[in-house]
Amino acid sequence: MKKYFILVSFLMSGCAAQSQLAKIDEYAWVEYTCSGIKSWNDCKQAARMACPDGFYVKNQLENITIQRREFEAACKG
């Protein structure tokens, strides 16, 4: 019985996390691109300036061959 309760609790928590991810798609996403020797921290500085309360990131891609980094960001709140 105890194992059953733990299993049900685990499955229910997974459903809660899934519903939170679905809400992220409702935001307006902006694509940011940078190239050269800039780090990911440097690339995300523009998103930090546009989103003082923080931001979500999706589709973060890096091409080492051509030194290009890109990601999409949506402001929180």
Which residue ranges form the domains of the chain, and what is each CATH number? Answer: 25-77 (3.30.1660)
- Please indicate whether residue 23 or residue 77 has the higher confidence score (pLDDT): 77
What mean pLDDT, rounded, does the chain reach? 77
Average pLDDT over residues 12-25: 44
Task: Give the end-to-end CA distance of the chain in Å, rounded to a whole number.
Answer: 42
Q: For 34-69, what is each residue's pLDDT tens digit?
A: 888 888 998 899 999 999 999 999 999 999 899 999
**Which one is predicted more confidently, 68 or 18?**
68
Q: What is the pTM of this model?
A: 0.62
CA distances from 25 to 3, 50, 72 (A): 35, 18, 11
